[in-house]
């Protein structure tokens, strides 16, 4: 590559950082790391390999890697109250790949949420489950409450007897009904797998729900949404030794080789910070989400699940079919410096994924940089002015930049270590 090409790529990367630095990020699947976690991400660890488990490697040079991974497992065990932890998956979807390889084989039946009911693409027929050649069946979904219908889903499980029941959504506003469906799991003799990618940080903070104590055998997750760490993955267990061994084998050598040691270390740093700051962070995320949802609803938006208080997580869903549709709203707000995404709603056909009825909003990143209830109300006003009142996007963009200028530091993390300040601008 020529020097000019390299310079161009660097310039675009800087412009990208400037765009998010000046904008308000409301993507429900993103977050920003603490400066300390970023520091270990760019350490020499990012250049190295460590296949296998600590103290049983296939490479030399892993003395300090083993110490880091041991401590990371200890922190995850304390945070999630389980001895079964695996910090090696390199993403949430990679963790899901390992889980399905461990829990089900070709021809087995797996119960999952539907895509239009908030399910993740990895659980779709064209995703990991389909590529594993398992058969899938979707839970009945209640669009009024925006969650799985526990009574109808229990009857389906007893009737169909799937080998695995998978819970977890990309639009995950309310706890999955694990406790309500426990008798059905027992009668069907199935394993319960909970994909906590979106709500892992809320679980770490003692909010939302506690899947490992509510019946889940396996919890998978990505570590960069409400859990504010690196783009990486994790698997947690509360299951029998044979199943856990199958999970560990599925991780390596099943679905990965080296497990991105820098990200594993950053995950450990984030787990340490979550033990100290996670409860307050989770509380503030949920409070902000409720405030933003209520304000948008008061301003005339069709925020879903109004009868349930809109949300119990970081996420809310809004039907904007009368406001131009999900694609128009998301693209218009991007011009204003407000970044969120279009999203399928329960009544949408999957073919509408590029122009669905809804948008999805998450507040975990705005909360991470210190925004509170008053800023949520201001954001709701800016969105209303852009979409309902059709004000000039450039004018709103200027106000968005001004609002964001007061929130450029990462919160809920360690500010100093060894005398050096790790609070930096993002």
Q: For residue 107, is it left (φ>0), alpha (ψ between -120 and 50) or beta? A: left
From first to last of the 426 residues of the chain, give the pLDDT tens digit: 699 999 999 999 999 999 999 999 999 999 999 999 999 999 999 999 999 999 999 989 999 999 999 999 999 999 999 999 999 999 999 999 999 999 999 999 999 988 777 777 776 777 777 788 899 999 998 888 888 999 999 999 999 999 999 998 889 999 999 999 999 999 999 999 999 999 999 999 999 999 999 999 999 999 999 999 999 999 999 999 999 999 999 999 999 999 999 999 999 999 999 999 999 999 999 999 999 999 999 999 999 999 999 999 999 999 999 999 999 999 999 999 999 999 989 888 766 778 899 999 999 999 999 999 999 999 999 999 999 999 999 999 999 999 999 999 999 998 755 544 444 444
User: What pLDDT shows up at residue 123?
Assistant: 67
CA dihedral 42, 43, 46, 50 (to 10 degrees): -150
Between the CA of residue 108 and those of 32, 218, 255, 279, what are the distances in Å?
A: 38, 18, 20, 39
pTM attached to this predicted model = 0.94
Write the DSSP string, 246-314: HHHHIIIIII-SS--HHHHHHHHHHHHHHHHHHHHHHHHHHHHHHHHHHHHHHTT-EES-GGGTS-SSS
Q: Nearest-CA neighbor of 184 among 171, 200, 167? A: 167
> CB atoms < 10 A from the CB of 18, how many?
10
Q: Nearest-CA neighbor of 195 among 252, 260, 113, 261? A: 113
pLDDT digits (tens, 9 = 90+) for 92-117: 999 999 999 999 999 999 999 887 77
Residue reference for tokens 């659980």: 123
User: What pLDDT shows up at residue 354?
Assistant: 86
Q: 36-273: which CATH number, 3.40.640.10, 3.40.1080.10, 3.40.50.720, 3.20.20.150? A: 3.40.640.10
CA separation for the pair 228, 65 (Å, rounded): 22
CA separation for the pair 166, 119 (Å, rounded): 10
By 3-state DSSP, what share of the chain in percent is helix, strand and coil, each rounded to 5? 45, 15, 35
Whether 219 contacts 237, CB under 8 Å = yes
* Dihedral (CA of 341, 91, 126, 208) sign: negative
């Amino acid at each position: 590559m020529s020097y000019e090409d390299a310079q161009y790529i660097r310039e675009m990367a800087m412009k990208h950082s400037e765009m998010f630095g000046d904008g308000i990020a409301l993507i429900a699947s993103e977050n920003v790391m603490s400066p300390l976690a970023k520091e270990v991400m760019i350490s020499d660890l990012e250049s190295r390999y460590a296949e296998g488990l600590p103290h049983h490697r296939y490479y030399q040079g892993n003395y300090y890697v083993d110490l880091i991974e041991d401590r990371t497992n200890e922190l995850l065990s304390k945070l999630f109250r389980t001895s079964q932890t695996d910090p090696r998956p390199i993403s949430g979807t990679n963790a899901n790949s390992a889980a399905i390889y461990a829990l089900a084989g070709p021809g087995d039946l797996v119960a999952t949420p539907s895509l239009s009911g908030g399910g993740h693409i990895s659980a779709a027929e064209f995703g990991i489950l389909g590529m594993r050649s398992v058969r899938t069946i979707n839970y009945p979904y209640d669009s009024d409450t925006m969650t799985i219908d526990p009574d109808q889903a229990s009857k389906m499980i007893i009737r169909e007897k799937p080998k695995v029941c998978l819970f977890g959504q990309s639009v995950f506003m309310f706890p999955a009904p694990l406790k309500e469906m426990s008798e059905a799991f027992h009668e069907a003799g199935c394993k319960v797998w909970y994909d906590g990618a979106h709500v892992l940080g809320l679980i770490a903070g003692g909010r939302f729900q506690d899947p490992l104590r509510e019946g889940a055998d396996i919890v998978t997750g990505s570590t960069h949404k409400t859990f504010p760490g690196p783009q990486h993955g994790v698997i947690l267990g509360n299951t029998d030794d044979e199943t856990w061994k199958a999970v560990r084998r599925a991780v390596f050598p099943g679905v990965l080789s080296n497990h991105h040691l820098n990200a594993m270390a950053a995950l450990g740093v984030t787990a340490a910070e979550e033990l100290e700051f996670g409860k307050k962070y989770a509380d503030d995320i949920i409070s902000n989400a409720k405030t933003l949802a209520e304000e948008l609803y008061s301003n005339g938006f069709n925020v879903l699940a109004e009868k349930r208080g809109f949300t119990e997580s970081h996420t809310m869903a809004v039907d904007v079919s009368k406001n131009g549709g999900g694609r128009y709203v998301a693209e218009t707000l991007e011009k204003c410096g407000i970044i969120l995404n279009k999203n399928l709603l329960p009544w949408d056909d999957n073919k509408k994924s590029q122009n669905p009825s809804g948008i999805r909003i998450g507040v975990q990143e705005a909360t991470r940089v210190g925004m509170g209830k008053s800023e949520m109300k201001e954001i709701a006003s800016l969105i209303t002015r852009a979409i309902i009142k059709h004000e000039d996007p450039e004018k709103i963009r200027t106000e968005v930049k001004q609002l964001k200028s007061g929130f450029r530091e990462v919160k809920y993390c360690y500010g100093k270590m060894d005398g050096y300040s790790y609070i930096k601008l993002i």
